[in-house]
Amino acid sequence: MASRVDEPHDDLIHVTPNPVIEPGHTAASVTDKISALVLKRKTPLAWYIGFFISFSLANVLMFTIAYLVTTGIGIWGNNWPVGWAFDIINFVWWIGIGHAGTLISAILLLLRQEWRTSINRFAEAMTLFAVACAGLFPLLHTGRPWLAYWMLPYPNTMNIYPQFRSPLMWDVFAVSTYASVSALFWYVGLIPDFATLRDRAKSGAFRVVYGMLALGWRGSARHWHRYETAYLLLAGLATPLVLSVHTIVSFDFAVSQLPGWHATIFPPYFVAGAIYAGFAMVLLLTIPLRKFYGLEDFITLRHMRNCAKIMLATGLIVGYGYMMEAFMAWYSASEYEGFMIKNRIWTGPYWWTYALLILTNILIPQVLWLRRARHNTVLLFIVALVISVGMWLERFVIIVTSLHRDFLPASWAMYRPTMFDWSMFVGTIGLFFTLLLLFIRFLPAISIFEMRTILPGAAPKEEG
């Protein structure tokens, strides 16, 4: 190799202690290794075990939904005044998890963070499945999900229309746009890889299916040029979109008058929390994936380290959000705000959820300041799990502690989730992992064509 080929790549591969791809790989080896995951390699036993567990949980979801639809949402613990409980907690939690996928695929692309390449496909799949799980909750909370299309504005014989001034309507548009754009972005990214699988597949059925999905992609230079333009434009569009989605989700709360919800810090703090939870989920998924599928060459310690750093940074923003909530409660001198924060932190019946929240979301993740912790995958896995719990608790604290003590003491009440609240939540976790495991089995979990671009020698040498 001549000396001045692709300096930036050489720098990535050889100078940094943990490269994005381990040295020695070529376009051929990358292609063969990743496509073999789908086409050749024997499915590891861990896949079957994981699929059995998650599919069982997905069935729990199915039975819960069947019972819910035939009986009514009274099987949940929702009451007055806690009319929004697990359904919105889990909705926000899942949507937030999805956001890291878009951040990795779009924002890090625009920022030219090449390390994102090996995890972006996977993270985008995570986004899609998380949004699917999220969507189930408001849909079923309507009570009559078969009439959910009433939320869409269409001329109808009832002569009524949705209220466009309501943040709940904004949510309908934000989440459906987000789901559509994420799905299309993901599919566009897959087209060249479908072509690779089509050309590699031995069995006729696989070749036909991948061939149809590849749309006849042949890698023409003119096509690549438009493809890259479209991909960059989509990244530019997805970036404000992802920020808007969680901003609008936070408006569901911030636009209301309820102490504990009515706060201007909500949009940025929700977005940071979403990225925080999402990166925790990325680590929860990639750590076992790279181990069981032997992908340590492609998903290296550098990825682990970078994800850990992003979690640390966004976690601190979330911590700032908590501080500002408490500060504004005092600084606003509003009696109701003051009561809310005192009730939330130490005098109320849910004080322990707040204590656990601070422990899991703020205190424990500080271990990521240590370099050794960022390089220890077992520890990272545990921290990511703790953060996932913490971010769920955050939504519980915001929603339940604000609602259960509102302005009128006469309407105060306690909220307790029922068995069906839990089975629905656990069931969506099952659905999420079922979809993800099917994705790993049948689609390339790492973007093959993008991996080729970051190899040494990928760029043509310029003569002269």
The smaller minimum CB distance to other proteins, of residues 66 and 184, is found at: 184
What are the residues binding other proteins (CB under 8 A)? 26-28, 31-32, 153, 159-165, 167, 169-170, 173-174, 177, 180-181, 184-185, 188, 191-192, 195-196, 198-200, 215-230, 233-234, 237-238, 240-241, 244, 248, 251, 449-450, 452-453, 457-463
Asked if the bond preceding 162 is cis, omega within 30° of 0, the reply is: no
Cα–Cα distance, 230 to 233 (Å, whole number): 5
Task: Give the nearest distance from C-beta 122 to other proteins in angstroms.
Answer: 19
Burial (CB < 10 A; 0-12, 13-18, 19+), residue 10, is middle
Task: Give the nearest distance from C-beta 23 to other proteins in angstroms.
Answer: 17
Cα–Cα distance, 248 to 168 (Å, whole number): 9
The smaller minimum CB distance to other proteins, of residues 217 and 415, is found at: 217
The smaller minimum CB distance to other proteins, of residues 56 and 256, is found at: 256
Task: Give the nearest distance from C-beta 174 to other proteins in angstroms.
Answer: 5
Cα–Cα distance, 413 to 86 (Å, whole number): 16
Asked if the bond preceding 268 is cis, omega within 30° of 0, the reply is: no
The smaller minimum CB distance to other proteins, of residues 7 and 44, is found at: 7
Is residue 185 a contact partner of residue 234, using CB atoms and an 8 Å limit? yes
Q: What DSSP element (H or E) covers 192?
A: helix 167-200
Task: Give the nearest distance from C-beta 159 to other proteins in angstroms.
Answer: 8
424 to 12, 87, 122, 140, 277: CA distances (angstroms)? 44, 9, 25, 10, 20
Task: Give the nearest distance from C-beta 166 to other proteins in angstroms.
Answer: 8
Task: Give the nearest distance from C-beta 76 to other proteins in angstroms.
Answer: 28
CA-derived radius of gyration, the chain: 24
Task: Give the nearest distance from C-beta 276 to other proteins in angstroms.
Answer: 23
The smaller minimum CB distance to other proteins, of residues 170 and 293, is found at: 170
Task: Give the nearest distance from C-beta 269 to other proteins in angstroms.
Answer: 18
Task: Give the nearest distance from C-beta 403 to other proteins in angstroms.
Answer: 24
Is residue 79 a contact partner of residue 413, using CB atoms and an 8 Å limit? yes
The smaller minimum CB distance to other proteins, of residues 188 and 414, is found at: 188
Cα–Cα distance, 158 to 162 (Å, whole number): 12
Torsion sign, CA atoms 121, 126, 129, 134 = negative
The smaller minimum CB distance to other proteins, of residues 260 and 267, is found at: 267
Residue 234, helix vs strand vs coil: helix
The smaller minimum CB distance to other proteins, of residues 28 and 410, is found at: 28
Cα–Cα distance, 406 to 213 (Å, whole number): 53
Rounded to 5 degrees, what are φ and ψ at 379?
A: -65, -40
The smaller minimum CB distance to other proteins, of residues 173 and 336, is found at: 173
Burial (CB < 10 A; 0-12, 13-18, 19+), residue 77, is middle
